[in-house]
């Protein structure tokens, strides 16, 4: 834990706790996007895609999966590939819960995995070192059990800009998110199969969901476009 985070907890601990409880109580609970969570689309070279993670991966903030990350990504990839895809995601998952979920799945091969996890670790009490350890375990599991050739890792979003969060809680969670991302960037540069998406999921006015915490359809579209560009480059010769 950094000196800044330790000092903030000492000085602001009770306030941060109260603000966190209040935010959970008053923030609208939006449902996961409706629609299919597996399928096939497009023509061309075969591409097996797995999307895994938390509420953002599950499409909270969009009405349907077509408007969410999975639908946007599949539509984009189907322009060049015959895409077989699955979505394994659930609201509230943190890194350990996602590890548990993947352990329970039957092994099958995928070419690409898009990983979205971290917000619920940032809002919890997990320190950055054990979080990075869990990221490594997630990536190893995806490669070993599911034969993934390319893991696209989504950064933790810029929580210091989330309108649903009051100050100083917004600052504190944003500080933690940036620390997590710094370590995540270091990790992904050392792992050949991993690419950290260079995207800015900045919650510009009108682009977030009504809860002020999740992406809206336009952010999901940008996210999917950025991921598809990396996938197209990686599999262009196949």
**Is the link from the previous residue into 98 a cis peptide, with omega within 30 of 0?**
no
Domain range summary for the chain, segments of one domain joined by +: 32-193+217-228
pLDDT for the residue 103: 97
**Element holding 183 (H helix, E strand):** helix 169-190
Q: Taking a C-beta distance cutoff of 8 angstroms, is the pair 197, 227 a contact?
A: yes
In this prediction, residue 5 carries a pLDDT of: 67
Q: Measure the CA–CA gap between 159 and 157, rounded to whole angstroms.
A: 6
For every one of its 238 residues, what pLDDT tens digit does the chain have, with 9 covering 90 and above?
677 767 666 666 678 788 878 888 888 899 999 999 999 999 999 999 999 999 999 999 999 999 999 999 999 999 999 999 999 999 999 999 999 999 999 999 999 999 999 999 999 989 999 999 999 999 999 999 999 999 999 999 999 988 889 999 999 999 999 999 999 999 999 999 999 998 766 656 678 898 888 999 999 999 999 999 999 999 875 4
CATH architecture of the region 32-193+217-228: 3-Layer(aba) Sandwich (3.40)
DSSP class of residue 129 equals H
- For 22-48, letters b (16+ CB in 10 Å) and e give ebeeeeeebebbebebeeeebeeeebb
**What pLDDT was estimated at residue 18?**
86
Please list, in sequence order, all residues whose beta carbon lies within 8 angstroms of the beta carbon of residue 3, skipping any fewer than 6 positions away.
none
pLDDT reported for residue 148: 98
Displacement of CA 234 from its chain's centroid (Å)? 20
pLDDT at position 211, please?
Answer: 87
- Predicted confidence at residue 203, as pLDDT, reads 59
Count how many Cα atoms sit within 13 Å of the Cα of residue 136 in the half-sphere of its side chain. 12
Preceding peptide of 194 cis, ω within 30°: no
- pTM for this entry: 0.92
CB atoms within 10 A of CB 204: 12
**pLDDT score of 26:** 82
- Spatial separation of the C-alpha atoms in residues 19 and 31, rounded to whole Å: 23
């Amino acid at each position: 834990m950094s000196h800044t985070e330790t000092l903030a907890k000492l000085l602001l601990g009770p306030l941060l706790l109260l603000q966190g409880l209040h935010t959970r109580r008053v923030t609208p609970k939006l449902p996961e996007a409706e629609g299919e969570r597996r399928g096939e689309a497009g023509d061309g070279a075969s591409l097996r895609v797995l999307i895994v993670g938390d509420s953002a991966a599950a499409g909270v903030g969009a009405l349907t999966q077509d408007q969410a990350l999975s639908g946007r990504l599949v539509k984009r990839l189907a322009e060049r590939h015959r895409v077989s895809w699955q979505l394994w995601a659930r609201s509230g998952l943190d890194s350990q819960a996602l590890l548990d979920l993947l352990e329970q799945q039957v092994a099958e091969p995928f070419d690409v995995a898009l990983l979205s996890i971290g917000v619920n670790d940032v809002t919890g009490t997990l320190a950055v070192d054990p979080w990075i350890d869990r990221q490594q375990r997630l990536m190893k599991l995806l490669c070993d059990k599911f034969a993934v050739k390319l893991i696209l890792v989504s950064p933790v979003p810029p929580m210091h800009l989330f309108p649903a969060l009051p100050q100083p809680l917004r600052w504190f969670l944003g500080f933690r998110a940036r620390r997590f991302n710094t370590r995540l960037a270091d990790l992904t540069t050392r792992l050949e199969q991993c690419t950290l998406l260079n995207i800015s999921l900045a919650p510009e006015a009108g682009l977030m969901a009504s809860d002020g915490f999740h992406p809206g359809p336009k952010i999901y579209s940008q996210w999917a476009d950025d991921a598809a560009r990396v996938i197209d480059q990686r599999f262009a010769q196949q």
